[in-house]
Amino acid sequence: MKYVSYVLFFLLSCMLAQSPLHSQNLLKKLKDKAEDKVVNKVFGEDNSGTSTGTSSGTAASSGTQTGQGRMQNTSGGGLVSTPPDVKKNLAAASSAFKSGNYGEARYSARQALLGVEMEMGKKVLASLPQKVDGLDADPSQDRVTSTGIGFVGLAMERTYRSDAKELHILVNNDALMLSSVNLYLNAGYVSTDEPGKKVIQFQNYKALLSYDDASGYTLNVPFGQSSMFSVQGINYSSEDAFMAAAGQFDIEKIKKGLGEK
């Protein structure tokens, strides 16, 4: 211990001429190292041994730690996805409007509309078949999204799959996508430059059928005032096989669920 103290005193004297910050940092490192050697000697440990303690005095834990000693999250259930309460937000909108708080009234009204759309989307998904063409629906892939602005941007998604095939369903109010499909449908001709696209009739609606080697078959069917039903089939052997699977969905039933005319 006397030898260690002598070394520390000698090093401190040599570094007084250096900058305070540099000398303090270096001295601390040397002091810590010297103290470690003393502790190891007292407890009969050498430098090659494995420490059984935890760094920076932190108690041991069952969680995973990073190289910096900070624990990583290894559990948790995420956030609860709950649609806005329609009645509660309508009452809040009415109260805010009466008191002249129009910003809050507008926000609550939009939240109420968002709640209506989310509930509507869930019911549309629930009305879809659970099995199509031998493919089971994957409940973890069910999605309902909405902007809460007058049914613009409302989208419902479901995926059916097996090890060999997949069928993806999308019902939405995407104005940009709808206008592009309608532009093609209203053109009234088929171009030889686009052999992967053609206009067909599907359940009394004009539809656009597409095929691409990378993405498979895609069917887009505009219906109602602003809605579209889309189906994508991956690894279907033929157009007939894909259309038979798409035909198991009832557009009129979906249309009724959305309140479309």
Is the pLDDT score of 211 beyond 90?
Answer: yes
Averaged pLDDT, 219-237: 92
CATH class of residue range 128-257: alpha beta
Residue 76 CA from chain centroid, whole number: 16
The amino acid occupying position 216 is G
Q: How far apart are CA 61 and CA 166, in angstroms?
A: 43
Top mean pLDDT of 63-72, 116-125, 180-189 is at 116-125
Nearest to 169 by CA among 138, 208, 147: 138
Per-domain residue ranges of the chain: 1-42, 83-118, 128-257
Is the pLDDT score of 172 beyond 60?
Answer: yes
pLDDT grade, residue 84 (50/70/90)? confident
The larger pLDDT score, comparing residue 177 to residue 241, is at 241
On whether the CB atoms of residues 89 and 109 are closer than 8 A, the answer is yes
On whether the CB atoms of residues 66 and 72 are closer than 8 A, the answer is yes
| Alpha-carbon radius of gyration of the chain | 33
Averaged pLDDT, 164-186: 80
Q: In this structure, are strands 205-212 and 197-202 parallel, antiparallel, or unpaired?
A: antiparallel
